[in-house]
Amino acid sequence: MSLEIKVPAVGESITEVILAKWLKNDGDHVEMDEVIAELESDKATFELTAESAGTLKLVAKEGDTLEIGALVCKIEEGGAGNAESEKPEAESEEKTEEKPANDSKSEAKETTIKVPSVGESITEVTLTTWLKQNGDYVELDEVIAELESDKATFELPAEAAGILNTVANEGDTLAIGAVVATISGGAKVESQKSKVDSVAPTEKSGTSYADKSPSPAAAKILAEKGIDTKDVKSTGVDGRITKEDAMNAQKVDSSKAKVESAVSKTTGNTSAPAIAGARDERREKMTSLRKTISKRLVTVKNETAMLTTFNEVNMAPIMELRKKYKDSFKEKHGVGLGFMSFFTKAVTEALKDFPAVGARIDGEEIVYSNFADVSIAVSAPKGLVVPVIRNAESMTMAEIEKEVVRLAVRARDGKLGIDEMTGGNFTITNGGIFGSMLSTPIINAPQSAILGMHNIVERPVAENGQVVIRPIMYVALSYDHRVIDGRESVSFLVKVKQLLEDPARLLLGI
């Protein structure tokens, strides 16, 4: 008996994962609940366990992007699986001997390719690009098209090997379960196709309707490059220009060719001058995390009325306080006294006076919170993550510093859980650690505001009619104008400035 192991649901907002690593090999014996693989989403890493004991049969490969519910592997329970697998093989050999060699009809079959389910809330997708053309021979699991929903882009693989017969067109909006294409034949069809090509080469070499005709995807690429189809080498069926042909095509600059020809006639030198220095390029596929970050940032820019207000903070009082007490603070609490705890406490106090800054839009309602869950932006090896400090308003400076260190270490080790990154009603990001003087941070949706910290630079300022040098930090508050008015945003930032320039107010709550 064979048990199918599928990608489990790992969170409401996660629709796909990456098979990061197989911990067991194909054919290994595994025990029930034994960890067999590691799955990675845009937020965290998960372990995949065996749901029964038996022999492992791998289906997905390391690096594959799998949707929730997709088949990962199978487990043949006990020894029955091997015996059963051998029996059909013997029977198939006997049937092969009995079957006439020229019975192509018995071998030919047609597989229907439909739009797969790509998420509970997704009811339709758009066929953006055909990666294979009508009449092309495709292999099993070869990607033939790209589908796009309102949330993500998905690849459509071939469910069998054979000749592709496209049904839908690029740009079509298709419902889940709609027919996209069919695949007919298989190895028999491929051999017949090659036989026809070898018997009648003169027909293929002749002109056909597809000769020098680009596919829709190829036509788009050639138009962007400004290349004529007659200057493109075609490798598709009947001389059709494929997407790969278009990507490899180079524009012929006729004016440049004429100048080079004139120069070569004058100088007698027919070779182009050598270009000094390396001109290598490197391409890397975007990770699931990077793609998710990109989509969310663009969504925030497009769907919020985002503005940024600025102010400057004299950091001298905090720096003097840290210098005076940092050793005794670390000795007592076992953690250093950093700037983040001061900023977090200042934000939590300011949110009490201006609750709209910590609010969010939910449908047609604005949700206000009487607590401060502060998100801290952390730069991890795989990208930017934003873990949350829960109920920061009730924590001491030492407790905040310890939580910041704990979350930062887990982020850099890739061990953050979904519960540690979801929620939050305000975000603090510190670009100053990388040397940023000023920036306009992007809101962390669905929150309505984010505070940007920057580097500390000694600048001349006027105090009591005198020019003095002070360590100044520029701070920026980006906010959603749909929720927060200008008066509230400016007043909030001024309150944060006052609390930081007079840290005693943090203790007194004024």
The set of catalytic residues is: 481, 485
β partners of residue 128: none
- C-alpha to C-alpha distance for 72 and 63, rounded to whole angstroms: 12
- C-alpha to C-alpha distance for 94 and 85, rounded to whole angstroms: 15
Task: Please check whether residue 404 is in contact with residue 411, taking contact to mean a CB–CB distance below 8 angstroms.
Answer: no
Task: Please check whether residue 215 is in contact with residue 237, taking contact to mean a CB–CB distance below 8 angstroms.
Answer: no
Of 10, 2, 3, nearest to 51 by C-alpha is: 3
Question: DSSP letters of 49-72?
Answer: E-SSSEEEEE-S-TT-EEETT-EE
Cis peptide leading into residue 8 (ω within 30°): no
Of 66, 9, 18, nearest to 290 by C-alpha is: 18
Cα three-residue angle 265-269-270, rounded to 5 degrees = 85
- C-alpha to C-alpha distance for 198 and 90, rounded to whole angstroms: 35
Q: Which residue in the block uniquely carries the two structure tokens 């000023």?
A: 438
Axis-axis angle for helices 397-412, 316-333 (nearest 10): 80
Task: Please check whether residue 162 is in contact with residue 189, taking contact to mean a CB–CB distance below 8 angstroms.
Answer: yes
> Cβ–Cβ contacts within 10 Å for residue 334, how many?
11
β partners of residue 2: 76
Surface-to-core class of residue 201, CB atoms within 10 Å of its CB (0-12 exposed, 13-18 middle, 19+ buried): exposed
End-to-end CA distance of the chain: 70
